[in-house]
Chain A
Amino acid sequence: MNYRTRYFIYGALFGCCFPVMSSIFDVIVQDLPFTFESIKLVQRTQPLHWIIDSAPLFLGLFAMLAGIKQDEVMQMNLNLEQKVQDRTRDLHEKNSELSIAQKDLSKSLEKISQSIDYAQRIQMALISNAEQMKIDFPGSFFLFRPRDVVSGDFLWYHRSNGYVYIAAVDCTGHGVPGAFMSLIGYCLLNKITSENQHAGTAEILDTIHVEIQKILNQKRDSEVHDGMEMALCRIDTKQKTIDFSGAGMGLCYIGANGDMREVKPDFFSLGGFHFKANFKYSTQTISYQSGDRFYMFSDGITDQFNAQDEKFGLTRLRKNMAINYSKPVAEQEKAFSAEIDNWKKSARQLDDMMLAGVAL
């Protein structure tokens, strides 16, 4: 039963008290016997009772008005409750959707991570022959710090025909696209040096440049301009000379006496398009003595920001080379590593990092 009906009944019942009481009262006042006939008599003779008799109707109606209000309040409460229930159900649904999405995400992430870890093993297998450098040139080391597990930076080491070739390579991109490019570079270096065992360093760079353009179908206005920077050395251990050609990556040379000098590369990197038509790479020849050493590095190190948004910079790296070059390999590696860590701290790594130190 709703409130309006219930209140009307209560009001009417309460209203009935008035005609009953007034009639009884009048019977007593007029000193009549307590019979239904006496009540009928007072009711007939006294018009005031007629007004009092309407009390149940009016009180009932008044009470009903309050009942209507009460019904409205109840209805509002009901609506509110319904809304709360709806919202709660929505939230639950959203929540479970979210947790499903989260599960999907972490599943995808796990798959991608596993796939990249797998790719990393392939990449590590490929570049593991750079380890030979440490055996052939004791006191040499290299430091790898891929930004995302697999790397666009790599070191390539090759012996052929009495020469030792060492290349430090920084491919465009990092992560998976960087690693794709590194494979192209790695295979081209192998192919060119095995096909032409007397290949000079500039000749190798010229060939790689053209080959990348071919492999990636690069034309003047095509969209893929990827390529790589490379520092390439050919060491003649008998003559004690190094032929160096650089495509956007130079080397830092330190004599046994501590003299440091920069061997600048040609500006243009490999692949994509050079501004100058028919550009050819140049070769610089360095005579060395035992005990000299040189460093090659990718710009991931020098371009690394610290928390204050300052770059590591070339000056700092050179300073570290000057301090550390004469230290034993393990210590050098540790010192450079610590210096980079100390600089980077919680700042994120922006690019792959590589540093190779060759002791002659």
Chain B
Amino acid sequence: MAELINIPATEDTPAIILDATKGLIKISGKALPEDSLAFFKPVYEWLKEYYQSPVETTELHLYLDYINSASTRHLFNIMSGMQDLIDKQKSAKVIWHCKSSDEMMKTKGEELQSILDIPFEIQEQ
């Protein structure tokens, strides 16, 4: 079973918590790595292992202040992984947290919500 991974935030990269026993994926902060693939690689590896034996309910919590377009594409991949879980009869949900003052992130969340066929909740703070 995939273990617990805790990647601390840096100036350019968000904090990431991957908890296989709780079925929790949490990404928070600013995502503008120079090399986005190199940054998200450990997440992909964890997910690959996690999908072998996921728990009943997986929640993807996003607390993003900024995400560049290259990282957004990796986020799409992670979200389409949630779709794969649902196809496997597991439950999965995306919770998009954003500041109510941040119209850019709110709009981004709403756009994603409208095109994704998975449970997608927007929580404004």
Tell me whether B90 is interfacial, beta carbon within 8 Å: no
Main SS class of interface, A: loop
Q: How far is the CB of B77 from chain A (nearest CB, A)?
A: 7
Which of B34, B73, B77 neighbours the largest number of chain A CB atoms within 10 Å of its CB?
B73
Inter-chain contacts of B111 with A (CB < 8 A) = 267
Q: How far is the CB of A252 from chain B (nearest CB, A)?
A: 14
Known contacts being A223-B37, A225-B74, A226-B73, is A302 close to B115, with CB within 8 Å? no
Tell me whether B2 is interfacial, beta carbon within 8 Å: no
What 1/0 flags go to A204-235 for Cβ under 8 Å of B?
Answer: 00000000000000000001111101000000
Taking a contact as CB atoms under 8 Å apart, the answer to whether A275 and B80 are in contact is yes
What 1/0 flags go to A168-189 for Cβ under 8 Å of B?
Answer: 0011110100000000000000
Inter-chain contacts of B68 with A (CB < 8 A) = 172-173, 350-351
Taking a contact as CB atoms under 8 Å apart, the answer to whether A170 and B80 are in contact is no
Could you tell me the distance between the alpha carbons of A275 and B73 in the complex, rounded to whole angstroms?
11
CB < 8 Å neighbour of B104 from A175, A223, A275, A313: A313
Tell me whether A292 is interfacial, beta carbon within 8 Å: no
Known contacts being A225-B77, A350-B32, is A173 close to B103, with CB within 8 Å? no
Taking a contact as CB atoms under 8 Å apart, the answer to whether B102 and A275 are in contact is no
Query: Which residues 40-55 of A have a CB within 8 angstroms of B?
Result: none
Q: How large is the interface on B (under 10, 10 to 19, 20 to 34, 35 or more residues)?
A: 20 to 34
Taking a contact as CB atoms under 8 Å apart, the answer to whether B115 and A227 are in contact is no
Inter-chain contacts of B32 with A (CB < 8 A) = 350-351
Tell me whether B1 is interfacial, beta carbon within 8 Å: no
Q: How far is the CB of B90 from chain A (nearest CB, A)?
A: 19
Could you tell me the distance between the alpha carbons of A215 and B7 in the complex, rounded to whole angstroms?
34
CB-based nearest B residue for A304: B66
Taking a contact as CB atoms under 8 Å apart, the answer to whether A311 and B80 are in contact is no
Taking a contact as CB atoms under 8 Å apart, the answer to whether A275 and B66 are in contact is no
Could you tell me the distance between the alpha carbons of A172 and B36 in the complex, rounded to whole angstroms?
10
Could you tell me the distance between the alpha carbons of A303 and B64 in the complex, rounded to whole angstroms?
12
CB < 8 Å neighbour of B115 from A275, A310, A313: A275
Could you tell me the distance between the alpha carbons of A276 and B76 in the complex, rounded to whole angstroms?
12
Which of B80, B103, B114 neighbours the largest number of chain A CB atoms within 10 Å of its CB?
B103
| A-B residue pairs in contact (CB < 8 Å), sample of 11 | A172-B70, A225-B77, A267-B115, A269-B69, A272-B73, A275-B116, A309-B65, A311-B66, A311-B104, A313-B104, A350-B66
Those 4 A-B pairs whose CB atoms lie nearest each other, nearest first: A225-B73, A172-B70, A172-B69, A173-B70
